[in-house]
């Protein structure tokens, strides 16, 4: 099956948004979304219903703060939800919203320079309308671009992150369904491996393997892990273990996998999101922060497959929500400091 109608609808939606301003963005959103459109956004946006609420919560403030906005897509894919094929056809877009940062946004001071807001968006399409959306963006990365450092130094690198090394992530046309199935199968095997070796996941029995052994089953040795700000990006299996996996598994306990809302693959690309994916208890040291109460991680993972292994992974975590559940209101602290 092809997904040209769904891809065309989302592409038209994006083209219309590119021409919209703060005053008319609600009407623009309403043209291609259902009346009961469910929109999920990172903290402080959370869940909204309908175009008017989505506009008031995110798009109007964003377009008021940012001028000359461009959507620079790196991945564009579509497919049936691998978790519920009968119930969902989804279109995924990932890249950056580039703009001139001219007015404050969420209390983040403007720079009057280029800003690159990392995003990943999942859109479920039914009956010719977008009926459900998950919009993840990296607000801590935006703060970092504005000269703010709201967290202790991270273990990985802070970068404006590129798209696929192969520059072939925009699948506007049709793809071989067999290739997408290979990608989704590999992603699912990788998820099972994580569960087996980290006491979370989909109910598999733990097995005796080193982190290198575990990762080498599904990942190329020169893997690229494009992590969210607060953690950062890392390169190769060994540096990924050092700069992300080991701190994650050492400093977060009682990890519970809550499942995903959508998983899909098309061609060599695939991804998933959860709401939330994980619940865990910080025991101290993670991202340089003290121990805290159980907290949720809402996560997007996007992947590029190269042959029979994964080569690149772009991660979006609702970090502000994760921190807020531990009593750290990053946006509130920033606002309080601004009035002093």
Domains of the chain and any CATH numbers: 4-145 (3.10.450.50), 177-331 (3.10.450.50)
Pairing mode, strands 252-257 and 278-282: antiparallel
Q: What is the chain's length?
A: 340
Q: What is the pLDDT along the chain (340 residues), one digit of tens a residue?
A: 789 999 999 999 999 999 999 999 999 999 999 999 999 999 999 999 999 999 999 999 999 999 999 999 999 999 999 998 666 899 999 999 999 999 999 999 999 999 999 999 999 999 999 999 999 999 999 999 999 999 988 999 988 999 999 999 999 999 999 999 999 999 999 999 887 765 554 444 445 678 999 999 999 999 999 999 999 999 999 999 999 999 999 999 999 999 999 999 999 999 999 999 999 999 999 998 999 999 999 999 999 999 999 999 999 999 999 999 999 999 998 887 765 5
> Angle at the Cα of 339 (from 337 to 340), degrees rounded to 5?
70
Name the token pair of 163: 């798209």
The rounded Cα 103 to chain-centroid distance in angstroms is 25
Torsion-angle region of residue 230: left (phi > 0), alpha (psi -120 to 50) or beta? left
Task: Give this prediction's pTM.
Answer: 0.95
Integer Cα distance of 101 and 329 in angstroms: 23
Distances (CA, A) of 199 to 7, 206, 248, 249, 256: 38, 7, 13, 10, 8
């Amino acid at each position: 099956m092809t997904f040209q109608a769904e891809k065309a609808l989302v592409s038209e939606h994006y083209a219309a948004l590119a021409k919209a301003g703060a005053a008319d963005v609600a009407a623009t959103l309403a043209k291609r979304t259902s009346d009961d459109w469910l929109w999920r956004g990172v903290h402080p946006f959370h869940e909204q219903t309908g175009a008017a609420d989505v506009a008031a919560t995110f798009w109007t403030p964003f377009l008021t703060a940012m001028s000359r906005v461009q959507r620079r897509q790196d991945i564009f894919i579509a497919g049936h939800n691998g978790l519920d094929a009968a119930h969902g056809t989804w279109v995924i877009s990932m890249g950056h919203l580039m703009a001139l940062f001219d007015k404050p946004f969420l209390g983040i001071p403007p720079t009057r320079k280029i800003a690159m807001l990392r995003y990943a968006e999942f859109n479920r399409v039914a009956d010719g309308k977008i009926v459900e959306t998950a919009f993840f963006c990296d607000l801590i990365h935006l703060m970092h671009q504005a000269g703010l450092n709201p967290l202790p130094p991270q273990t990985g690198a802070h970068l404006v992150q590129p798209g696929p090394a192969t520059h072939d992530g925009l699948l506007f046309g049709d793809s071989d369904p067999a290739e997408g199935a290979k990608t989704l199968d590999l992603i699912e095997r990788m998820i099972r491996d994580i569960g087996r070796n980290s006491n979370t996941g989909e109910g598999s029995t733990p097995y005796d393997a080193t982190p290198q052994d575990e990762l080498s089953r599904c990942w190329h040795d020169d893997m690229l892990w494009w992590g969210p700000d607060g953690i950062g990006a890392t390169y190769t299996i060994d540096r990924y273990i050092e700069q992300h996996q080991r701190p994650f598994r050492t400093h977060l306990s009682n990890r519970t996998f809550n499942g995903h809302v959508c998983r899909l693959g098309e061609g060599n690309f695939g991804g998933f999101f959860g709401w939330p994916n994980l619940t865990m208890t910080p025991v101290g040291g993670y991202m340089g922060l003290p121990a805290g109460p159980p907290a949720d991680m809402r996560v997007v993972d996007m992947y590029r497959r190269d042959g029979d292994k994964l080569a690149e992974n772009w991660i979006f975590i609702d970090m502000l929500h994760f921190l807020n559940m531990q009593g750290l209101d990053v946006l509130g602290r920033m606002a309080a400091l601004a009035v002093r």
